[in-house]
Amino acid sequence: MTKQQQISLTGGSGHLGTCLIQLLLEQDFSIKALYRNTIPKINHPNLTWIKGDVTDKDCIEKLIENTSILIHSASIISIGDKDRDIVYNTNVHGTEVAIKASLNKNKRLIYISSSNAVTETKNNAVFDENRPYKTKTDFLYGYTKALSEQNVLNAVHKKQLDAFIIRPTSIIGPPDYIPSHFGQTILDMYNGSIPALTTGGYNLVDVRDVSQTIINSFKKGKTGEVYLVGGNYYSLKDIAAITNKKRNPIIIPLGFLIFLSPILYVFNILFKMRWPVTRESLVILKKAPKNVDSSKAIKDLNHNIRPIKNTIGDLITWFKTENKT
Protein backbone atom coordinates (compact mmCIF):
# COMPACT_ATOMS: atom_id res chain seq x y z
CA MET A 1 0.00 0.00 0.00
CA THR A 2 1.17 3.51 -0.65
CA LYS A 3 1.61 5.82 2.28
CA GLN A 4 -1.37 7.94 3.26
CA GLN A 5 -3.76 5.62 1.43
CA GLN A 6 -7.04 5.88 3.27
CA ILE A 7 -8.60 2.86 4.98
CA SER A 8 -12.16 2.72 6.34
CA LEU A 9 -13.03 0.71 9.43
CA THR A 10 -16.18 -0.22 11.31
CA GLY A 11 -15.95 -1.03 15.01
CA GLY A 12 -13.20 1.53 15.38
CA SER A 13 -13.57 2.05 19.14
CA GLY A 14 -13.66 -1.67 19.98
CA HIS A 15 -10.78 -3.78 21.28
CA LEU A 16 -9.49 -4.90 17.87
CA GLY A 17 -10.42 -1.63 16.18
CA THR A 18 -8.44 0.47 18.65
CA CYS A 19 -5.31 -1.64 18.29
CA LEU A 20 -5.65 -1.74 14.52
CA ILE A 21 -5.96 2.05 14.32
CA GLN A 22 -2.81 2.49 16.43
CA LEU A 23 -0.79 0.25 14.14
CA LEU A 24 -2.23 1.82 10.99
CA LEU A 25 -1.26 5.29 12.19
CA GLU A 26 2.23 4.09 13.13
CA GLN A 27 2.60 2.76 9.59
CA ASP A 28 1.49 6.03 7.94
CA PHE A 29 -2.01 5.07 6.85
CA SER A 30 -4.92 7.49 6.93
CA ILE A 31 -8.13 6.15 8.48
CA LYS A 32 -11.85 6.85 8.56
CA ALA A 33 -13.35 4.94 11.48
CA LEU A 34 -16.94 4.32 12.54
CA TYR A 35 -18.08 4.13 16.15
CA ARG A 36 -21.52 3.85 17.71
CA ASN A 37 -21.63 4.20 21.51
CA THR A 38 -18.13 3.64 22.90
CA ILE A 39 -16.25 6.95 22.88
CA PRO A 40 -12.99 6.64 20.88
CA LYS A 41 -9.71 6.89 22.79
CA ILE A 42 -7.47 7.92 19.90
CA ASN A 43 -7.22 11.24 18.10
CA HIS A 44 -4.80 11.98 15.28
CA PRO A 45 -4.59 14.28 12.24
CA ASN A 46 -4.75 11.22 9.96
CA LEU A 47 -7.80 9.76 11.74
CA THR A 48 -11.39 10.82 11.03
CA TRP A 49 -14.15 9.56 13.33
CA ILE A 50 -17.72 9.10 12.13
CA LYS A 51 -20.48 8.39 14.62
CA GLY A 52 -23.14 6.07 13.27
CA ASP A 53 -24.54 2.58 12.94
CA VAL A 54 -23.31 -0.26 10.73
CA THR A 55 -26.88 -0.95 9.61
CA ASP A 56 -27.25 2.57 8.20
CA LYS A 57 -26.59 2.47 4.45
CA ASP A 58 -25.95 6.21 4.13
CA CYS A 59 -23.55 6.13 7.07
CA ILE A 60 -21.48 3.30 5.58
CA GLU A 61 -21.36 4.95 2.16
CA LYS A 62 -20.11 8.14 3.81
CA LEU A 63 -17.51 6.11 5.70
CA ILE A 64 -16.04 4.45 2.62
CA GLU A 65 -16.02 7.57 0.45
CA ASN A 66 -12.47 8.32 -0.80
CA THR A 67 -11.10 5.09 0.70
CA SER A 68 -9.87 1.94 -1.02
CA ILE A 69 -10.50 -0.75 1.61
CA LEU A 70 -13.32 -1.31 4.11
CA ILE A 71 -12.40 -3.39 7.16
CA HIS A 72 -15.70 -4.56 8.62
CA SER A 73 -14.86 -5.32 12.24
CA ALA A 74 -18.00 -4.16 14.04
CA SER A 75 -20.08 -6.83 15.77
CA ILE A 76 -21.77 -7.56 19.06
CA ILE A 77 -20.35 -10.46 21.05
CA SER A 78 -23.08 -11.98 23.17
CA ILE A 79 -23.04 -15.22 25.16
CA GLY A 80 -26.57 -16.03 26.25
CA ASP A 81 -30.06 -14.89 25.34
CA LYS A 82 -29.66 -11.15 25.93
CA ASP A 83 -30.55 -8.77 23.08
CA ARG A 84 -30.78 -11.49 20.43
CA ASP A 85 -32.54 -9.24 17.91
CA ILE A 86 -29.90 -6.53 18.29
CA VAL A 87 -27.07 -9.06 17.95
CA TYR A 88 -28.58 -10.53 14.79
CA ASN A 89 -29.36 -7.15 13.25
CA THR A 90 -25.89 -5.73 13.90
CA ASN A 91 -23.90 -8.81 12.95
CA VAL A 92 -25.88 -10.04 9.95
CA HIS A 93 -27.69 -7.01 8.55
CA GLY A 94 -24.68 -4.79 9.26
CA THR A 95 -22.50 -7.08 7.16
CA GLU A 96 -25.10 -7.09 4.38
CA VAL A 97 -24.93 -3.28 4.33
CA ALA A 98 -21.12 -3.42 4.17
CA ILE A 99 -21.31 -5.88 1.27
CA LYS A 100 -23.76 -3.75 -0.73
CA ALA A 101 -21.82 -0.54 -0.10
CA SER A 102 -18.55 -2.18 -1.14
CA LEU A 103 -20.16 -3.45 -4.34
CA ASN A 104 -21.79 -0.11 -5.15
CA LYS A 105 -18.62 1.90 -4.54
CA ASN A 106 -16.16 -0.71 -5.84
CA LYS A 107 -14.24 -1.09 -2.58
CA ARG A 108 -12.26 -4.07 -1.31
CA LEU A 109 -13.91 -5.60 1.77
CA ILE A 110 -12.06 -7.35 4.57
CA TYR A 111 -14.57 -9.10 6.80
CA ILE A 112 -13.42 -9.77 10.37
CA SER A 113 -15.16 -12.95 11.45
CA SER A 114 -14.55 -15.34 14.35
CA SER A 115 -13.47 -18.94 14.82
CA ASN A 116 -16.84 -19.33 16.56
CA ALA A 117 -18.47 -19.25 13.10
CA VAL A 118 -17.62 -22.89 12.51
CA THR A 119 -18.13 -26.17 14.35
CA GLU A 120 -15.59 -27.36 16.87
CA THR A 121 -13.41 -30.43 16.43
CA LYS A 122 -13.47 -33.46 18.70
CA ASN A 123 -10.53 -34.56 20.80
CA ASN A 124 -7.30 -33.19 19.30
CA ALA A 125 -8.34 -33.11 15.64
CA VAL A 126 -6.98 -30.30 13.48
CA PHE A 127 -9.08 -27.12 13.47
CA ASP A 128 -8.54 -25.16 10.25
CA GLU A 129 -10.35 -23.08 7.63
CA ASN A 130 -12.29 -26.10 6.33
CA ARG A 131 -14.59 -26.66 9.31
CA PRO A 132 -18.34 -26.63 8.46
CA TYR A 133 -20.39 -23.62 9.46
CA LYS A 134 -22.56 -23.60 12.56
CA THR A 135 -26.25 -23.99 11.77
CA LYS A 136 -27.78 -23.88 15.25
CA THR A 137 -28.87 -20.65 16.88
CA ASP A 138 -28.17 -21.69 20.48
CA PHE A 139 -24.89 -19.72 20.36
CA LEU A 140 -26.22 -16.77 18.40
CA TYR A 141 -22.94 -14.89 18.02
CA GLY A 142 -21.26 -17.83 16.27
CA TYR A 143 -24.33 -18.41 14.12
CA THR A 144 -24.45 -14.77 12.99
CA LYS A 145 -20.77 -14.85 12.07
CA ALA A 146 -21.39 -18.04 10.08
CA LEU A 147 -24.25 -16.42 8.17
CA SER A 148 -22.19 -13.31 7.49
CA GLU A 149 -19.20 -15.27 6.22
CA GLN A 150 -21.48 -17.12 3.81
CA ASN A 151 -23.03 -13.84 2.65
CA VAL A 152 -19.59 -12.39 1.95
CA LEU A 153 -18.45 -15.45 0.00
CA ASN A 154 -21.72 -15.61 -1.95
CA ALA A 155 -21.20 -11.99 -3.01
CA VAL A 156 -17.66 -12.85 -4.08
CA HIS A 157 -18.76 -15.76 -6.25
CA LYS A 158 -22.04 -14.37 -7.61
CA LYS A 159 -21.46 -10.61 -7.75
CA GLN A 160 -17.66 -10.39 -8.11
CA LEU A 161 -17.19 -8.65 -4.75
CA ASP A 162 -13.49 -8.17 -3.99
CA ALA A 163 -13.44 -9.54 -0.45
CA PHE A 164 -11.83 -12.06 1.86
CA ILE A 165 -12.27 -13.14 5.47
CA ILE A 166 -10.01 -12.91 8.52
CA ARG A 167 -11.16 -15.41 11.16
CA PRO A 168 -9.44 -14.82 14.54
CA THR A 169 -9.67 -17.06 17.58
CA SER A 170 -10.10 -15.50 21.05
CA ILE A 171 -8.38 -12.10 21.14
CA ILE A 172 -6.39 -10.82 24.12
CA GLY A 173 -3.82 -8.10 24.77
CA PRO A 174 -3.21 -4.35 24.92
CA PRO A 175 -4.58 -1.80 24.37
CA ASP A 176 -7.79 -2.83 26.11
CA TYR A 177 -9.65 0.23 27.34
CA ILE A 178 -13.14 -1.15 28.06
CA PRO A 179 -11.77 -3.78 29.10
CA SER A 180 -12.72 -6.87 27.11
CA HIS A 181 -13.97 -10.09 28.70
CA PHE A 182 -10.49 -11.58 28.65
CA GLY A 183 -8.91 -8.33 29.75
CA GLN A 184 -11.16 -8.14 32.79
CA THR A 185 -10.43 -11.78 33.57
CA ILE A 186 -6.68 -11.10 33.51
CA LEU A 187 -7.18 -8.08 35.76
CA ASP A 188 -9.18 -10.12 38.25
CA MET A 189 -6.66 -12.96 38.20
CA TYR A 190 -3.82 -10.49 38.76
CA ASN A 191 -5.65 -8.85 41.66
CA GLY A 192 -6.50 -12.24 43.19
CA SER A 193 -10.24 -11.66 43.09
CA ILE A 194 -11.15 -14.92 41.33
CA PRO A 195 -11.42 -17.59 44.05
CA ALA A 196 -12.24 -20.47 41.72
CA LEU A 197 -11.79 -21.53 38.11
CA THR A 198 -13.07 -24.36 36.00
CA THR A 199 -11.45 -26.76 33.58
CA GLY A 200 -11.33 -25.96 29.89
CA GLY A 201 -9.64 -23.12 28.07
CA TYR A 202 -9.29 -21.09 24.89
CA ASN A 203 -7.11 -20.62 21.86
CA LEU A 204 -5.72 -17.14 22.50
CA VAL A 205 -4.16 -14.76 19.99
CA ASP A 206 -2.60 -11.36 20.70
CA VAL A 207 -4.69 -8.45 19.40
CA ARG A 208 -1.50 -6.82 18.08
CA ASP A 209 -0.66 -9.92 16.03
CA VAL A 210 -4.19 -10.03 14.59
CA SER A 211 -4.01 -6.32 13.75
CA GLN A 212 -0.67 -6.62 11.97
CA THR A 213 -1.90 -9.64 10.04
CA ILE A 214 -4.89 -7.61 8.86
CA ILE A 215 -2.53 -4.86 7.67
CA ASN A 216 -0.37 -7.46 5.92
CA SER A 217 -3.49 -8.73 4.17
CA PHE A 218 -3.96 -5.41 2.33
CA LYS A 219 -1.32 -6.59 -0.13
CA LYS A 220 -1.27 -10.32 0.48
CA GLY A 221 -4.94 -11.24 0.99
CA LYS A 222 -6.62 -13.03 -1.92
CA THR A 223 -10.22 -12.54 -2.98
CA GLY A 224 -12.55 -15.31 -1.80
CA GLU A 225 -10.14 -16.75 0.76
CA VAL A 226 -10.65 -17.40 4.47
CA TYR A 227 -7.69 -17.02 6.84
CA LEU A 228 -7.77 -18.59 10.31
CA VAL A 229 -5.73 -16.28 12.55
CA GLY A 230 -5.05 -18.07 15.81
CA GLY A 231 -2.55 -18.48 18.59
CA ASN A 232 -2.13 -21.35 21.03
CA TYR A 233 -4.45 -23.18 23.43
CA TYR A 234 -4.22 -22.48 27.16
CA SER A 235 -6.33 -23.77 30.01
CA LEU A 236 -7.75 -21.29 32.50
CA LYS A 237 -5.40 -22.82 35.05
CA ASP A 238 -2.42 -22.11 32.76
CA ILE A 239 -3.54 -18.51 32.26
CA ALA A 240 -4.02 -17.98 36.00
CA ALA A 241 -0.56 -19.38 36.76
CA ILE A 242 1.07 -17.01 34.27
CA THR A 243 -0.93 -14.02 35.52
CA ASN A 244 -0.49 -14.49 39.27
CA LYS A 245 1.92 -17.14 40.51
CA LYS A 246 1.06 -16.41 44.15
CA ARG A 247 -2.56 -17.48 43.81
CA ASN A 248 -3.86 -21.02 43.42
CA PRO A 249 -7.60 -20.88 42.67
CA ILE A 250 -9.88 -23.83 43.35
CA ILE A 251 -10.66 -25.81 40.19
CA ILE A 252 -14.31 -26.80 39.72
CA PRO A 253 -15.00 -29.49 37.09
CA LEU A 254 -16.58 -28.04 33.96
CA GLY A 255 -19.16 -30.82 33.68
CA PHE A 256 -20.44 -30.00 37.15
CA LEU A 257 -20.92 -26.33 36.24
CA ILE A 258 -22.72 -27.25 33.02
CA PHE A 259 -25.05 -29.44 35.09
CA LEU A 260 -25.72 -26.45 37.38
CA SER A 261 -26.05 -23.94 34.51
CA PRO A 262 -29.85 -23.48 34.88
CA ILE A 263 -29.34 -22.46 38.52
CA LEU A 264 -26.35 -20.28 37.65
CA TYR A 265 -28.45 -18.57 34.99
CA VAL A 266 -30.97 -17.50 37.65
CA PHE A 267 -28.13 -16.28 39.90
CA ASN A 268 -26.79 -14.21 36.99
CA ILE A 269 -30.15 -12.46 36.69
CA LEU A 270 -30.82 -11.97 40.40
CA PHE A 271 -27.38 -10.95 41.59
CA LYS A 272 -25.69 -9.59 38.45
CA MET A 273 -22.61 -11.73 38.98
CA ARG A 274 -19.25 -10.17 38.10
CA TRP A 275 -18.38 -13.24 36.04
CA PRO A 276 -21.73 -14.21 34.47
CA VAL A 277 -21.82 -17.93 33.74
CA THR A 278 -24.11 -19.26 31.04
CA ARG A 279 -24.43 -22.68 29.49
CA GLU A 280 -23.13 -21.20 26.23
CA SER A 281 -19.97 -19.81 27.84
CA LEU A 282 -19.28 -23.13 29.56
CA VAL A 283 -19.79 -25.13 26.38
CA ILE A 284 -17.35 -22.80 24.58
CA LEU A 285 -14.78 -23.54 27.28
CA LYS A 286 -15.38 -27.25 26.89
CA LYS A 287 -15.24 -27.32 23.09
CA ALA A 288 -12.50 -24.76 22.41
CA PRO A 289 -10.18 -26.26 19.76
CA LYS A 290 -6.78 -27.34 21.07
CA ASN A 291 -5.13 -27.93 17.71
CA VAL A 292 -5.69 -24.75 15.70
CA ASP A 293 -3.87 -24.67 12.36
CA SER A 294 -2.99 -21.10 11.38
CA SER A 295 -0.40 -22.20 8.81
CA LYS A 296 -2.29 -20.61 5.91
CA ALA A 297 -2.25 -17.16 7.58
CA ILE A 298 1.36 -17.67 8.63
CA LYS A 299 2.42 -18.56 5.08
CA ASP A 300 0.23 -16.17 3.09
CA LEU A 301 -0.13 -13.19 5.45
CA ASN A 302 3.03 -13.42 7.59
CA HIS A 303 0.91 -13.97 10.69
CA ASN A 304 3.03 -14.01 13.85
CA ILE A 305 2.18 -15.77 17.13
CA ARG A 306 3.92 -14.29 20.15
CA PRO A 307 4.24 -16.19 23.48
CA ILE A 308 1.25 -15.81 25.80
CA LYS A 309 3.60 -14.84 28.64
CA ASN A 310 4.59 -11.76 26.65
CA THR A 311 0.97 -10.90 25.89
CA ILE A 312 -0.19 -11.22 29.50
CA GLY A 313 2.88 -9.38 30.80
CA ASP A 314 2.37 -6.52 28.36
CA LEU A 315 -1.35 -6.38 29.17
CA ILE A 316 -0.73 -6.13 32.91
CA THR A 317 1.90 -3.44 32.34
CA TRP A 318 -0.58 -1.55 30.14
CA PHE A 319 -3.31 -1.82 32.78
CA LYS A 320 -0.90 -0.41 35.38
CA THR A 321 -0.04 2.49 33.08
CA GLU A 322 -3.76 3.19 32.67
CA ASN A 323 -4.31 2.91 36.46
CA LYS A 324 -6.71 0.00 36.04
CA THR A 325 -5.06 -2.48 38.44
Whether the pLDDT of residue 279 is over 90: the answer is no
98 or 325, greater pLDDT: 98
State the average pLDDT over residues 47-75: 97
HEC per residue, 165-232: EEEECEEECCCCCCCCHHHHHHHHHHHCCCCEEECCEEEEEEHHHHHHHHHHHHHHCCCCCEEEECCE
Position 273 confidence tier, pLDDT thresholds 50, 70, 90: low
Position 1 confidence tier, pLDDT thresholds 50, 70, 90: very low
pLDDT at site 2: 47
pTM, to two decimals: 0.93
Position 158 confidence tier, pLDDT thresholds 50, 70, 90: very high
Burial profile 204-242: b = 16 or more Cβ within 10 angstroms, e = fewer: bbbbbbbbbbbbbbbeebeeebbbbbbbbbbbbbebbeb
pLDDT at site 222: 99
Whether the pLDDT of residue 113 is over 50: the answer is yes
What domains can be seen in the chain, in order of their start residue?
6-173+205-231+290-306 (3.40.50.720)
Whether the pLDDT of residue 3 is over 60: the answer is no
Position 317 confidence tier, pLDDT thresholds 50, 70, 90: very high
Whether the pLDDT of residue 80 is over 70: the answer is no
- Contact predicate 240/189, CB 8 Å: yes
State the average pLDDT over residues 62-74: 98
pLDDT tens column, 174-215: 999 999 989 999 999 999 888 889 888 999 999 999 999 999
Mean pLDDT of the chain: 92
Q: Which residues pair with 233 in a beta bridge?
A: 203
Residue 265, judged by CB atoms within 10 A of its CB (0-12, 13-18, 19+), counts as middle
